[in-house]
Amino acid sequence: MVLKIHTVLSCDGPKIMEQDLIERLAKHRTLGAVPRSELEWLATHGSLRNLKTDEILSAKDRPVEALYIILSGRLGLFVDRGAGPDKIVEWRAGDVSGLLPFSRLTAPPGNAIALEPLEILAISREHFKAMTVACFEVTSILVHSMVDRARLFTSGDLLNEKMLSLGKLSAGLAHELNNPASAINRCAAMLADQLKDSEDSALALAAAALSEPEMAALDAARAFAREKPDRPALSPLEQSDREEAFAAWLTRHGVDAAGAGALSDTGMTIECLDRLAACFEPSVLPAALRWLAAGCAIRNLTARIQDSAAQISNLVRAVKGFTHMDQANVAEPVNVGAGLADTVEVLRAKARAKSAAVTLELEPELPRVRGYAAELNQIWNNLIDNALDAVPGGGKVSVLARREDRRLVVRVVDDGPGIPADVRHRIFDPFFTTKPMGQGIGMGLDIARRLVRHNQGAIDFESGAGRTEFRVTLPLDGPDAEGTA
């Protein structure tokens, strides 16, 4: 959009208009308290600009050329993180925006757009050197404004990154929790059927008035079935063959083959079934085998329910440990190994979706570091999540942690294609990303570096074809840190 820029003041402009602008600047919330001589300098070196609603003042990725002193109206900064423009900050009359003295800002992360009719006084970049000499108080205020803006952007970026991570985490958790929850639901429904079968067969056995030898044989078979199989784990094909063998045996003895699966999952053998059949009359054997199979099925189903419930419990524990939702955000001794394990656990759904392997290698008795646990877990999440994005299907991500020279070093290594050499110097830059639109906003590594520094650590990387390694170095806590530089 073409901007309509109206310059109505200059060194030779009408004095009455200049005096009016000085009076307006004297009422400006941010700059009004500076000496009048400095307000006069701003008035004589600035240009007034008027923008209509929705006009763009500065565009994303284009250099910002001026300081903007907002006299009236509202200005918003909109950043597109893949789901459409989102307003991340707003300035009103009495605020300053745009380029500030000594700022390293080159191009904004988004478009600055007038939210309503906007009037600003623009001080061009070319006047900044003279302004810092002639306007000491203005420069001091603007430097403080720059610090406040950096703090606002940093906290906002961290919050946005956390929200994005939470969104991805929630999607993975929904899938991870659904699997064991569905298993519990299925097993509970099947358990009701098996209990009925067990009760019916028990009544039939009671009516048959079993003899002591028959009771002893049935009890021995039940004990045999409850033992863990004394054999190596079977492949799916071997397990299928075993189930078919049990089904054939049951059919030959006039028993419903539906119980073959339950019996084949235990330590039961065909030989044990032969011994049981030898002790029973043919008319009573079907009830005995139905009761035995139902008991095996009930134990198998309850074991699956317990395993599924344990999966849910472990996942909830990992999420709680990952977020540290019940702890204050204060520096404290942190178990990095536990944090890494929790992070790997909550990202396991993403790894499984890519058929990627994530391995965790921790040095025994890994010492603690002093830091902010939730922030460290955010670092591990960003690095491991990026590594999973980088690897191809069936790829591998290795996470290693060990003590090195009174410091703890965490390495995240992936076998992806590597970071292109021409962009390696930019990967920690805010809003820089090599991912397609909508798959990343380029804040993950920038925030990881900020959080590492906040925890008194350092981060670096090495990358080549087939191997990229990110290293985070953190100071140890307590006596382990003695002698640390």
Q: Convert the pLDDT of each residue in 243-252 to its tens digit.
A: 888 889 888 8
pLDDT score of 15 more than 50: yes
The candidate with the shortest Cα–Cα distance to 154, out of 459, 465, 449, 466, is 449
Q: Provide DSSP, 86-115.
A: EEEEEEETT-EEE--TT----S-SSEEEES
Note the CATH architecture for domain 15-134.
Sandwich (2.60)
Would 15-134 and 331-481 be classified into the same CATH topology? Answer: no
Residue 101: partners with Cβ closer than 8 Å, 6 or more residues away = 67, 128, 131, 132, 139, 142, 143, 146
Q: What is the pLDDT of residue 50?
A: 94
The candidate with the shortest Cα–Cα distance to 410, out of 465, 439, 442, 371, is 371
In the structure encoding, which two tokens stand for residue 374, read together? 């939730």
Q: Pick the more confident residue, 431 or 268.
A: 268
pLDDT score of 442 more than 60: no
**Helix, strand, coil percent content, the chain, rounded in steps of 5:** 50, 20, 30
Q: Pick the more confident residue, 50 or 481.
A: 50
Q: What is the pLDDT of residue 9?
A: 39
Residue 372: partners with Cβ closer than 8 Å, 6 or more residues away = 329, 330, 331, 332, 334, 451, 454, 455
Predicted TM-score (pTM) above 0.75: no
In the structure encoding, which two tokens stand for residue 470, read together? 């990110």
pLDDT score of 140 more than 80: yes
The CA-CA-CA angle for residues 448, 451, 455, to 5°, reads 135
pLDDT score of 154 more than 90: no
Q: What is the pLDDT of residue 5?
A: 35
Domains of the chain, by residue range, sit at: 15-134, 173-315, 331-481
Note the CATH architecture for domain 331-481.
2-Layer Sandwich (3.30)
CA gap 61, 233 in Å, rounded: 59
pLDDT band at 434 (very low <50, low <70, confident <90, very high): low
User: What would the pLDDT profile of 280-325 be if each residue is shown by its tens digit?
Assistant: 888 888 888 888 888 888 888 888 888 788 777 767 766 665 555 4
Q: What is the pLDDT of residue 459?
A: 92
pLDDT score of 176 more than 70: no
Highest mean pLDDT among 316-325, 382-391, 475-484: 382-391
CA gap 82, 78 in Å, rounded: 12
Q: What is the pLDDT of residue 166?
A: 58
Q: What is the pLDDT of residue 26?
A: 92
Query: Which residue intervals of 209-284 are DSSP H helices?
Result: 212-226, 236-252, 260-264, 270-279
Q: For 27-31, 34-38, 108-112, 467-471, which range has the lowest pLDDT when averaged over its residues?
A: 108-112
As a whole number, mean pLDDT of residues 366-380 equals 88
Report the chain's mean pLDDT, rounded to a whole number.
80
